[in-house]
């Protein structure tokens, strides 16, 4: 079959309630007795608030391949990592949503969870779960790097390898990172 995007606003469908179940019916064609469904949160800018009032150097966590990563807080109080994507390519909304669909499909204990996204005009944000222990790079090689014993280092390497093996070999579709 072909991939199809269905878009609706959960909060509007729930009548403004935050914790109310929403049911939507969509007709789809199923081939080979297989139906794959991906749901992800696509919020407005107001759902994710920067920790210090603005995305600036005081709440910057690091720099990713596509732009800076900041600490934020969702409207329910959860701390999150907000990856801002610098739109220098001509990637359209449908391509971006297709990528998010793929990312949201992979879930593994050694991978950070994607909570959702924000799209408005050329702004693209990905909202991930936040880990207080900073990035592995900072823990191992940063200014205040930890001096870890060999069993701990081995455990970290094994966890990273398991996450990568899941992406490469077990996830559908396979993802090369």
The Cβ of residue 3 has, within 10 Å, a number of other Cβ atoms equal to 11
Class of domain 10-170: alpha beta
Which among 45, 73, 50 has a CA at the least distance from the CA of 130? Answer: 73
Report the alpha-carbon distance of residue 30 to residue 100 in Å, rounded.
Answer: 22
Torsion of CA 95, 50, 132, 66, to 10 degrees: 30
Q: pLDDT per residue over 52-94, tens digit each? A: 556 778 888 888 777 788 888 877 788 888 888 766 555 566 6
Q: pLDDT per residue over 110-168, tens digit each? A: 888 888 777 777 777 888 888 887 677 777 787 888 888 999 989 999 999 999 999 88
Q: CB within 8 A of 126, min separation 6: which ones?
A: 82, 83, 85, 100, 103, 114, 117
């Amino acid at each position: 079959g072909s991939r199809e995007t269905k878009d609706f606003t959960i909060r509007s469908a729930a009548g403004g309630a935050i914790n109310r179940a929403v049911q939507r019916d969509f007709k789809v064609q199923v081939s080979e007795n297989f139906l794959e469904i991906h749901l992800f949160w696509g919020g407005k800018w107001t759902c994710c608030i920067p920790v210090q009032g603005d995305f600036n150097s005081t709440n910057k966590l690091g720099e990713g391949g596509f732009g800076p990563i900041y600490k934020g807080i969702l409207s329910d109080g959860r701390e999150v990592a907000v990856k801002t994507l610098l739109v220098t390519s001509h990637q359209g909304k449908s391509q971006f949503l297709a990528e998010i669909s793929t990312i949201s499909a992979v879930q593994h204990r050694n991978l950070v969870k994607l909570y959702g996204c924000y799209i408005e005009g050329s702004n693209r944000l990905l909202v991930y779960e936040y880990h207080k222990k900073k990035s592995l790079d900072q823990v191992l090689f940063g200014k205040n790097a930890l001096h870890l014993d060999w069993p701990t280092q081995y455990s970290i390497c094994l966890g990273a390898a398991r996450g990568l093996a899941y992406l490469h070999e077990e996830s559908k579709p396979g993802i090369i990172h």
